[in-house]
Amino acid sequence: QVQLVESGGGLVKPGGSLRLSCAASGFTFSDYYMSWIRQAPGKGLEWVSYISSSGSTIYYADSVKGRFTISRDNAKNSLYLQMNSLRAEDTAVYYCARQEVGLVFDIWGQGTMVTVSS
Amino acid sequence: SSELTQDPAVSVALGQTVRITCQGDSLRSYYASWYQQKPGQAPVLVIYGKNNRPSGIPDRFSGSSSGNTASLTITGAQAEDEADYYCNSRDSSGNHAVFGGGTQLTVL
């Protein structure tokens, strides 16, 4: 079945780094744009970044631009998010999502929690 | 601040019809999508495009749009529809996704 599984979350100190991974299965990963979306505890959804199917087009939310880097490895059916210079306000559940035309997110992973705290 | 605005909370009696709205200038140019999120779970897409439902979504869920407002309508709300609902679309640049702040739906 179509599935996305995130990993790599955890507790990190302010200013630290973390790399999230998302393993895709059940569909042709290389055909789809992919996004990272986050949700702070008790808050709403916030889109973070997306990457085109080939990796040639990338966009970031202003809140993470210059600190986060999205990438993908189509041979490994995997999506990544490198997070540097982490701040307390980056604390959230991070979801990877498959993206359809129109920035529609039709498949979501279960999420991985990132906590930034000293 | 979010470029899409939703009412924070809405309630509906069991079996009745409820409309959840989402307002934003970008909705004049782009369709909204709608997501249902239950506590401790990932969001689930329920409506996208003009009024399309993914496979497995009950037909009591429907979408519409007029001007700068998109709406999600649940006709005959069920207890299992109690959840948070989020709209999303593109921002004014067209290159970034944006979500509404979410609406907590209570089924009485």
Across chain A, how many H-helices and E-strands are there?
Answer: 0, 11
Count Cβ neighbours within 10 Å for each residue of B67-86 and write b for 16 or more, e otherwise. Answer: eeebbbbbeebeeebbbbbb
Residues in chain A: 118
- What pLDDT is stored for residue B85 in this prediction? 98
Shortest CA distance from B91: residue in chain A: A103
Asked if residues B50 and B79 have their Cβ atoms less than 8 Å apart, the reply is no
Structure confidence at residue A32 (pLDDT) = 97
CB contact under 8 A, B96 and A59: yes
Cα–Cα distance, B84 to B101 (Å, whole number): 10
Residue A101: band (very low, low, confident or very high) from pLDDT cuts 50, 70, 90? confident
**Quick one: pLDDT at residue A58?**
97
Number of CB pairs, chain A paired with chain B, less than 8 A apart: 60
Flag if B54 and A105 touch (Cβ within 8 Å): no
DSSP states of B21-81: EEE-GGGGTS--EEEEE-TTS--EEEEBTTTB--TT--TTEEEEEETTEEEEEESS--GGG
The pLDDT mean for chain A works out to 97
Which of chain B's residues have a Cβ under 8 Å away from the Cβ of A100?
48
pLDDT tens-digit map of A53-96? 999 999 999 999 999 999 999 999 999 999 999 999 999 999 99
Chain A positions in Cβ-Cβ contact with residue B96 (cut-off 8 Å): 47, 59, 61
pLDDT for A45 beyond 80: yes
Q: Which residue of A has its CA nearest to B101?
A: A44
Supply the pLDDT for residue B48.
97
State the number of CA atoms in the 13 A half-sphere of B43 facing the CB. 31
> What's the confidence (pLDDT) of residue B93?
85
Report the distance separating Cα B15 and Cα B13, nearest Å.
6
Q: What is the pLDDT of residue B94?
A: 85
Contact criterion met (CB < 8 Å) for B43 and A45: yes
The minimum CA-CA distance between A13 and chain B, rounded to whole Å, is: 25
Q: What is the pLDDT of residue B1?
A: 42
- Which A positions 4-63 lie with beta carbon below 8 A of chain B? 35, 37, 44-47, 50, 59, 61
pLDDT tens-place values along chain B, 108 residues long: 448 999 999 999 999 999 999 999 999 999 999 999 999 999 999 999 999 999 999 999 999 999 999 999 999 999 999 999 999 999 888 889 999 999 999 999
Do residue A35 and residue B33 have CB atoms under 8 angstroms apart?
no
